[in-house]
């Protein structure tokens, strides 16, 4: 993949990149309408493919927050057409890498040394490149390390990038503007945290220590002496990313072991630690042949406040869902419903949200759940598509759902997606017990 020798860092440079992309998209629409006029039909799939390619190429050149948001949206099959999903998923671990001279400059600025003054060897080419930074292989004597290097300027451009990407999310993707406005602050705060590698180092050490007892997990050791706010050094983790692991045709037993480790990891974080690795995309896990799950990248961690935890997990409880008065009260606590809603709005939203909770909460209502059931995920995607197409949802001027739910919902969606790809059968009874306590 072609390396980048520079990244636009000023607001004017980055805004100019968005403008150029807008011109390309306008050209794509003109070609689409011209095809309609001359042939009587226009290929919408081709329009999506052209737009997805141009937008991804632009965001990949900018890197940072804009590319991260595209990656986040690609995890939800209900948010965007398949062309966008396929293209934006590349941001998880295969974005265009930064050239070596810029990497050296980052080292000299942050650690005051050339990489080879610190490490015995250091790869000039990145092994992986994502939205916020890229990873290089290094050795310190005989110790193999992964060294993450942040792209220049991405931390300073978060606010302005999100302002520029908002019209794309609202207009091109057809998202509800009230929801986008509600969640932009939450997204911005998390992205700011993701650019602080000192914080990631601290959280990685804390969560690894807290979850060390869970069977089937592996965490890297971090090296503060070779790290800074923009550089993070850790043990090189063995294993394969999900797609490569599945290509080895692992047995069902091994798939189940990997899935169980992942499920137990998330349930312990959420219900005991009350903070969670909130970026569960395949690029953040490395799986060994026996199903041992290596967990990397603790840049995005969501701390769960009690004010959100108790009503949210009290709601994902079969007994509570059969109590209409309690469901109504919890929906208001979680801002799915408001006291200012009309009767017609309550009659529309309450059964809709209850249906969504019952569907998404299904794994919590049993002791063992087969995430390989494609029919279950078809139900989820069909409901999501139906909801996304509802006029009441798209035109609502009121955001629905507490902002703390954004990353928790995203976490569960990413977890479900990985477990589905693993076709894992998972023991979920521990989650049921935790939810019973949350409901009390």
Closest CA to 259 of 410, 101, 368, 119: 368
Count CB-CB contacts under 10 A for residue 216.
Answer: 18
Model confidence at 58, pLDDT cuts 50, 70, 90, reads low
CA–CA dist 128, 133 (Å, integer) = 9
The two tokens of residue 111 are 């650690």
Spatial CB neighbours of 422, under 8 Å, sequence gap ≥ 6:
242, 246, 255, 258, 259, 371, 372
Per DSSP bridges, beta strands 285-287 and 368-370 are unpaired
CB 21 within 8 A of CB 2: no
State yes or no: pLDDT of 65 exceeds 80.
no
- Domain residue limits, the chain: 11-91+156-175, 96-129+132-155+195-237, 239-440
- For residue 18, the model assigns a pLDDT of 61
Distances (CA, A) of 323 to 316, 320, 400: 12, 5, 21
- Write the pLDDT tens digit of every residue in 112-143: 999 999 999 999 999 988 778 899 999 999 99
CA–CA dist 299, 370 (Å, integer) = 30
**Phi and psi of 211, rounded to 5°?**
-105, 10
* Average pLDDT value over all residues in the chain: 83
Spatial CB neighbours of 82, under 8 Å, sequence gap ≥ 6:
48
CA–CA dist 102, 110 (Å, integer) = 12
Model confidence at 24, pLDDT cuts 50, 70, 90, reads low
- Write the pLDDT tens digit of every residue in 145-196: 999 999 888 888 777 777 777 766 666 555 566 666 666 777 788 888 989 9
Closest CA to 68 of 297, 382, 263: 297
- For residue 1, the model assigns a pLDDT of 56
SS3 for 129? strand
- For residue 396, the model assigns a pLDDT of 79
Residues 188, 193, 198: CA angle, nearest 5 degrees: 165
Average pLDDT score over residue span 62-88: 60
- Write the pLDDT tens digit of every residue in 225-280: 999 999 999 999 999 999 999 999 999 999 999 999 999 999 999 999 999 999 88
Model confidence at 63, pLDDT cuts 50, 70, 90, reads low
Distances (CA, A) of 85 to 2, 390, 417: 22, 21, 14
Query: How many helices (H) does the chain have, and how many strands (E)?
Result: 19, 12
Task: Decide which of 1.10.10, 3.30.200, 3.30.70, 3.30.460 is the CATH code for 96-129+132-155+195-237.
Answer: 3.30.200
Distances (CA, A) of 28 to 25, 36, 81, 167, 233: 5, 12, 16, 18, 43
């Amino acid at each position: 993949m072609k390396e980048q020798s520079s990244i636009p860092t000023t607001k004017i440079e980055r805004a100019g990149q968005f403008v150029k992309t807008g011109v390309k998209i306008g050209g794509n629409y003109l070609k689409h309408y011209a095809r309609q006029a001359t042939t009587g039909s226009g290929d919408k799939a081709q329009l999506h493919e052209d737009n997805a390619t141009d937008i991804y190429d632009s965001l990949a050149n900018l890197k940072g927050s804009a590319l991260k948001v595209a990656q986040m949206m690609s995890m939800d099959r209900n948010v965007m057409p398949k062309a966008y999903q396929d293209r934006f998923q590349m941001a998880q671990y295969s974005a265009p890498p930064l050239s070596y001279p810029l990497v050296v400059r980052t080292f000299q600025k942050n650690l005051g040394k050339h990489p080879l003054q610190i490490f015995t060897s250091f790869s000039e080419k990145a092994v992986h490149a994502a939205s916020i930074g890229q990873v290089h292989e290094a050795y310190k004597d005989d110790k193999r390390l992964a060294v993450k290097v942040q792209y220049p300027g991405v931390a300073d451009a978060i606010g302005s990038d999100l302002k520029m990407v908002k019209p794309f999310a609202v207009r091109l993707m057809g998202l509800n503007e009230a929801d986008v406005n509600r969640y932009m602050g939450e997204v911005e705060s998390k992205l700011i945290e993701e650019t602080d590698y000192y914080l990631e180092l601290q959280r990685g050490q804390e969560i690894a220590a807290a979850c060390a007892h869970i069977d089937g997990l592996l965490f890297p050791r971090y090296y503060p002496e070779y790290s800074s706010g923009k550089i993070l050094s850790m043990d090189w983790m063995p294993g394969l990313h999900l797609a490569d692991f599945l290509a080895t045709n692992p047995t069902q037993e091994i798939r189940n072991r990997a899935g169980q480790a992942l499920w137990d990891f998330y349930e312990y974080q959420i219900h005991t630690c009350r903070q969670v690795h909130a970026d569960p995309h395949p690029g953040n896990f490395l799986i060994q042949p026996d199903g041992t799950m290596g967990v990397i990248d603790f840049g995005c961690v969501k701390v769960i406040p009690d004010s959100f935890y108790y009503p949210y997990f009290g709601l994902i409880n079969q007994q509570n869902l059969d109590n209409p008065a309690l469901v109504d009260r919890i929906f208001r606590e979680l801002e799915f419903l408001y006291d200012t809603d009309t009767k017609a709005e309550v009659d529309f939203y309450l059964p809709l949200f209850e249906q969504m909770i019952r569907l998404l909460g299904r794994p919590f209502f049993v002791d063992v759940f087969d995430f390989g059931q494609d029919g279950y995920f078809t139900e989820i995607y069909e409901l999501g598509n139906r909801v996304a197409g509802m006029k009441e949802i798209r035109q609502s001027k009121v955001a629905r759902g507490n902002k703390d739910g954004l990353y928790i919902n995203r976490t569960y969606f990413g977890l479900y997606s990985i477990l589905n790809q693993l076709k894992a059968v998972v023991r979920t009874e521990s989650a049921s017990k935790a939810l019973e306590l949350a409901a009390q």
